[in-house]
Amino acid sequence: EAGVTQSPTHLIKTRGQQATLRCSPISGHTSVYWYQQALGLGLQFLLWYDEGEERNRGNFPPRFSGRQFPNYSSELNVNALELEDSALYLCASSRRLAGGELFFGEGSRLTVL
Amino acid sequence: DQQVKQNSPSLSVQEGRISILNCDYTNSMFDYFLWYKKYPAEGPTFLISISSIKDKNEDGRFTVFLNKSAKHLSLHIVPSQPGDSAVYFCAAKDSGTYKYIFGTGTRLKVLA
């Protein structure tokens, strides 16, 4: 069974540009969570999608947005990139409202120059 | 407001000895607690979890203890191995919002 997959692995952008990160959850999982891990910091909760709906979001500005597709894959968009957006972006999936473990992908490293 | 705290940024332990990683939380709505292990530039790997209705869960070398009255959980690794060297995150799920809140991590170094 394939795990959570994320793309791209690495992405380099300049300030003001937009970045799009993608995530495919484990088969059978309908919940997708996004986290940001800036250098030297912990995992900060960004967004939670379940059954195609945004269910909750963390304390991030509106330029962080995303969506979940009918096949439960998800996309994270970061608009008007700032230098401090440079981080490892992690996607995790779980069964719908199961309240169990989150399974993480390998992450997408975003660098903003 | 840091709802999940790991107050020790780092810990060094000799191979074969016990590693004890600690985590404190403040939110009474947390009903599920997890420990993850993370290597640099990789995603966290799930280790072990515990429901709020239990006070101990064991899986091989890993045991998690939960003290609800103290809002404290700990991860014991016995015996510690060099391959255990990594950053360990504790996490807690809010039963109302289904948010998973992570601590800031503890870097464990197991010395051979």
One pLDDT digit (tens) per residue for chain B, 112 residues: 679 999 999 999 999 999 999 999 999 999 999 999 999 878 999 999 999 999 999 999 999 999 999 999 999 999 999 999 999 999 999 988 888 999 999 999 999 9
Residue B47 CA to residue B90 CA, distance in Å, equals: 10
Q: To probe the interface with B, which of A88, A94, A102 has the most B CB atoms within 10 Å?
A: A102
Q: Is residue B83 classed as helix, strand or coil in its secondary structure?
A: helix
Q: Which amino acid is located at A26 in the chain?
A: I
User: Which pLDDT belongs to residue A97?
Assistant: 62
To probe the interface with A, which of B37, B46, B51 has the most A CB atoms within 10 Å? B46
Q: What does the block give as tokens for A18?
A: 């937009």
A/B interface, count of CB pairs below 8 Å: 59
Bond prior to A25 in cis (omega within 30° of 0): no
- Are A106 and B42 an interchain contact pair (Cβ–Cβ within 8 Å)? yes
Longest dimension (CA), chain B: 44
Query: What is the rounded distance in angstroms from the CA atom of residue B112 to the CA atom of residue A110?
Result: 35
User: φ, ψ for residue A88 (rounded to 5)?
Assistant: -95, 125
> CB distance from B62 to chain A under 8 Å?
no
Q: Looking at the partner chain, which of B45, B93, B105 has a beta carbon nearest the beta carbon of A42?
A: B105
Instruction: Report the alpha-carbon distance of residue B13 to residue B90 in Å, rounded.
Output: 19
Cβ <8 Å between B41 and A109: yes
> Residue for token digits 């995530």?
A23
Q: Tell the residue number behind the tokens 């074969």, with chain if given.
A: B16
Kindly state the average pLDDT of the residues A86-105. Answer: 87
Is B99–A56 a contact, with Cβ atoms under 8 angstroms apart? yes
Q: Is the pLDDT of residue A102 over 80?
A: yes
**Structure-block tokens of residue A67:** 């969506």
